[in-house]
């Protein structure tokens, strides 16, 4: 196990590079309590040279795509830290079978495959409310982060969005999500533009999804 100072003190921290990408995007960076960020970094046992380490240490999370995507960082008032979201109370000694790194407004989950998802080690995968299965996104955390900030995740949500979703989602608090009925995983709910939409607790949505 590495101590927190050795994880923070690196020759080439990722945060300045990430700050530039964030400034060029419409994403919102949530503030983080410094001690909470340090604890998250220590729990993950990754360094500040990695994009994940930078997100955990310097942000309370990142909200992108009009609020559709919520990426976990060091934690904020309405968004858990990446360690909290994965039930990690102390430093990990080995990569978990799956590390959940964020969710979307419909309760879909993003996770890094550590072997348990059956996709590919290190690949970010998506558990969608339409498929109810894990699907690989074709790259690791760095590629996922770049796609999220650059609008490259649109293909992931193809078939899950309705006309005017941007304004509707932007009005939600981070503690809220949208439930579709009939569910998009059913034949009746496959056209989400015709589904009824209800604002619900995001905890309720995430509680119904399988990790």
Domain extents in the chain = 4-207
Q: Tokens standing for 161?
A: 């969005």
What percent of the chain lies above the pLDDT cut of 70? 98
Whether the predicted pLDDT of 12 surpasses 90: yes
Whether the predicted pLDDT of 20 surpasses 50: yes
Residue closest to 108 by CA, chosen among 183, 171, 168: 183
Query: What's the whole-model pTM score?
Result: 0.95
> How much is the pLDDT for 210?
42
pLDDT digits (tens, 9 = 90+) for 71-126: 999 999 989 999 999 998 888 878 899 999 999 999 999 999 999 999 999 999 99
């Amino acid at each position: 196990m590495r101590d927190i100072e050795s994880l923070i003190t690196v020759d080439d921290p990722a945060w300045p590079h990430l700050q530039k990408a964030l400034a060029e995007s419409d994403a919102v960076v949530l503030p983080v309590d410094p001690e909470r960020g340090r604890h998250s970094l220590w729990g993950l046992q990754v360094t500040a040279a990695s994009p994940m380490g930078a997100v955990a240490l310097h942000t309370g999370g990142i909200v992108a795509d009009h609020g559709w995507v919520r990426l976990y960082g060091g934690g904020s008032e309405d968004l858990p830290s990446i360690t909290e979201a994965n039930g990690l109370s102390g430093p990990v000694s080995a990569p978990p079978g799956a590390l959940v790194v964020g969710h979307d407004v419909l309760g879909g989950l993003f996770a890094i495959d550590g072997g348990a998802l059956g996709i590919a080690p290190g690949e970010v995968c998506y558990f969608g409310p339409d498929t109810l299965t894990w699907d690989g996104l074709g790259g690791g955390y760095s590629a996922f982060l770049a796609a999220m900030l650059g609008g490259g995740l649109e293909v992931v949500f193809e078939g899950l969005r309705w006309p005017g979703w941007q304004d509707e989602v932007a009005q939600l608090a981070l503690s809220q999500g949208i439930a579709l009925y009939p569910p998009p995983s059913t034949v009746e709910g496959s056209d989400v533009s015709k589904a009824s939409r209800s604002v619900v607790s995001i905890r309720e949505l995430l509680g119904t999804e399988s990790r």
